[in-house]
Structure 1
Amino acid sequence: MKKWTFNILILFLVLNTATTFAQVEKTKKVSKSYTVSNTTALNIDNKYGKVHINTNNGNTIKVDVTMVGRSSSGERAQDILDNLKVDVVEGNEISFRSGIISSIRSSRRWKRKGTRSFEINYLISMPKNIKLKVKNKFGSVFLGDYIGELDLYVAYGSIKAGKITNVEDKKIKVAFGSADIDQVEQGELTIAYGSLKLDNGKKLLVKNSFSTMEIRDIQDLDITSKYGTVNITKVNNLSGSSSFDTFKIGELNNNCTLKLKYAKGFEVSRVNKNFKKIDIDGQFSAMELRFDEGASFDYEVNTKFGKLKAALRQKMKIRKQIEQTNSNYYEGKYGQGNAKSKVTIKSKYGSVRIK
């Protein structure tokens, strides 16, 4: 009898809990369609939901906005839904702005106890060549292949994008979120307190802070990075600065001009034998560069409170050498044949390793 009573009690608690946490869902939709030209611009400013953008070669923009309110009762769910808004401005610049009605946030009805949730989701179909600006907080953005002028900002969410090409201005910014992009041909990327995964790039200006970046293949990269992790599989030309980072390059093909401060480790696994110039100025940073077999270059290394370490000393012909208590200067040639490249390294309070 006690066992049956115990089982019935558990069943009652389960059913009561399910009833307590069950939520009623209410929805409303806004749908708009526009025939557009190459001069049309689309602006989306959203909070608390997803923005999904499919692109095509047509001349029509179609926007479907779905607002959802959830709570423990239909009345409460409807109350939430009634306080979600979408403001639309139409013309050559089409704008959608959505969120919570500001006056309701401080009201007792909005703050009263009870479970609630809400979201505002966009499904957009549009030409891939018109000007686009998207700002989304607390939600994700999906963007198909795109060739027009672009300004994309996501906070507390994620970006998934296809091939973003053409020479139009491209600006992508992520804060407290992630970006996974197939290609950005040319533009500016800013990542703060998040992550970036980029498969391919041509000419990019990248700002990174407190973030992890993975770039597979890029031609020209100008980077400013601090307190992060940077992994680049292959780069042709690299310039910029890195502070308090872990910075690793798989393959460097042409040029590198970089300032390092407090780098946890700067490493180039392979410098192409046909590279042109490397110029690194480091402070409190360890550097390691591995050169292709057959590489030949002139070098100038100046260290203070640090050392030059060369795995293949026989390849380094020293023309000038000044060794003092806390500083060392080396000038010479590495490898055989005519040197067509130059390596210049300045290092304070850090080691330089050449392999």
Structure 2
Amino acid sequence: MEKFNLNIASLIVASSLFATTTQAEETKVIEKSFIVESGASFSIENINGRVEIEKASGNEIEVIATITAKNADDMERIAVLMEQSGSDVTVETKYKDSTWGNNHSSGSVAYKVKLPVSVADSEVDLVNGSLLLDEVSGKLDVDLVNGSIEANNLSGNSELNSVNGSVIVSYSELNSVNKIDVDTVNGSIKVYLPVDANIKVDAETMHGSIKSDFGLSVEKKLFAGKYMKGSVGNASTKLSLESVNGSIKVLTK
């Protein structure tokens, strides 16, 4: 009986080791940097994976891509393309065709990007993955399908859109900001602004509440939803906020 129990234990250990081996993921890291001049543009497109973008010193755009896949075959189907053409830098994730028709679910790519202040225009397009922005300057154009957006201490015009996910954005100053545009379908919106902000606000939601720290009144729409319109100071910055299913808050920092 003792020998039998030992054999069973050995089989359990062997099975556990086999399961661990077969479930191990493949990981690959790609790093690249680009020297850019003032007025440069940057764009990134990703299908599965989180993207983090932060301010960098100097004049280099730095990109670190971490590819994770279930196995070596899936890893081979994922390609990270990084290119520079003049003052334009583009980063894109590509998935090669799979014989099983499951092209985009076999792996993910997480990006960490450092952008210098010389970048004047940035564009981000994500399908499945959250986005973190920290002290990114210049114009921003962001579109997400499934994922939240957190943008801290921005200082340029921005358009931030998420279908399924919340958006939190804060501005350190509004001196060079003419427009802030945030839209969600299923997700809340929070905007943090300086106390002395000069803004013209146009906010509305179909299903959700609206709150403001700037003394603006909230009204009910004729059939459904709520809206808030008004100006603070000289109204030099236009703030447009819209959500279908989510609350909206305009708060002071």
Q: Tell me the TM-score normalized by structure 1.
A: 0.52
Corresponding residue for residue 151 of structure 2: 161
Rounded Cα–Cα distance in structure 1 between residues aligned with 2:228 and 2:140: 30
Cα deviation, 1:7-50, whole Å, max 9, x if unaligned, reads x79x949x659827961211223221111111211110111001
Q: Does 1:123 align with 2:103?
A: no
Q: Deviations over 1:223-243 (max 9, x none)?
A: 2x3422133132356799846
Query: Does the 8 Å contact 2:148/2:167 carry over to 1?
Result: yes
Which amino acid is 2:212 matched to?
A: T
2:54 maps to which residue? 54
Asked if the contact 2:217/2:228 (under 8 Å) is kept, the reply is: no
Is the CA contact 1:145–1:163 (under 8 Å) kept in the aligned structure 2? yes
Q: Which residue does the alignment assign to 2:208?
A: 229
Which stretches in structure 2 are left out of the alignment for 5+ residues? 234-253
Label 1:199 to 1:84 Cα distance change in 2 as closer, same or farther (>3 A): same
1:121–1:87 Cα change, 3 Å:
same
Structure 1 pair 59–22 and aligned structure 2 pair: CA distance change class (3 A): same
The farther-off stretch of 230-239 and 132-141 is 230-239
1:182–1:198 CA contact under 8 A, matched in 2: yes
Which of 120, 132, 135 pairs up with 2:122? 132
Q: Distance in 1 between matches of 2:192 and 2:57?
A: 24
- 2:135 maps to a residue whose letter is D
Q: Please state how far the C-alpha of 1:157 moved relative to its aligned partner.
A: 0.8
> Is the Cα contact below 8 Å between 1:48 and 1:120 reproduced in 2?
yes
Structure 1: any 5+ residue segments left out of the alignment?
71-76, 203-216, 255-355
**CA RMSD of superposed structures (Å):** 3.7
Letter in 2 for 1:125: K
Rate the CA distance shift 1:159–1:87 in 2: closer, same or farther, 3 A: same
Instruction: Provide the TM-score with structure 2 as the length reference.
Output: 0.71
Match of 2:244 in 1: none
Instruction: Kindly indicate whether the alpha-carbon contact (under 8 Å) linking 1:230 and 1:247 is maintained by their aligned counterparts in 2.
Output: no
Distance in 2, Cα, partners of 1:198 & 1:52: 19
Give the alignment partner of residue 143 of structure 1, picking from 119, 133, 150. 133
| Superposed displacement of residue 59, structure 1 | 1.1
Equivalent-residue separation in structure 1 for 2:127 and 2:194 (angstroms): 26
Are the structure 2 counterparts of residues 239 and 150 from structure 1 closer, same or farther at C-alpha, using a change threshold of 3 Å?
A: farther
1:61-76 equivalences in 2 (<5 Å):
61-70=61-70
Paired residues of 2:202 and 2:228 also in contact (CA < 8 A): no
Q: CA deviation at 1:199?
A: 2.0
Post-superposition shift, 1:55? 0.5
8 Å contact 1:220–1:236 — kept in the other structure?
A: no
Residues 129 and 230 of structure 1: CA distance in aligned 2, closer, same or farther (over 3 Å): farther
Structure showing greater Rg: 1
State how far apart, in whole Å, the 2-side matches of 1:99 and 1:67 are: 12
Larger fraction in strand: 1
- Describe the superposition over 1:146-188 as per-residue Cα deviations: whole angstroms up to 9, x where unpaired: 230111112201111111124xx31111110121222384321
TM-aligned CA distance change 1:174 to 1:218, over 3 Å: farther
1:181 aligns with 2:169: yes
Distance 1:60 1:179, change over 3 A: same
Higher relative contact order (CA 8 A, sep 6+): 2
Distance change (3 Å), C-alpha of 1:16 and 1:62? closer
Change (3 A) 1:21 1:191: farther
Kindly tell me the number of residue pairs found equivalent between the two proteins.
217
* 1:190 equivalent in structure 2: 183
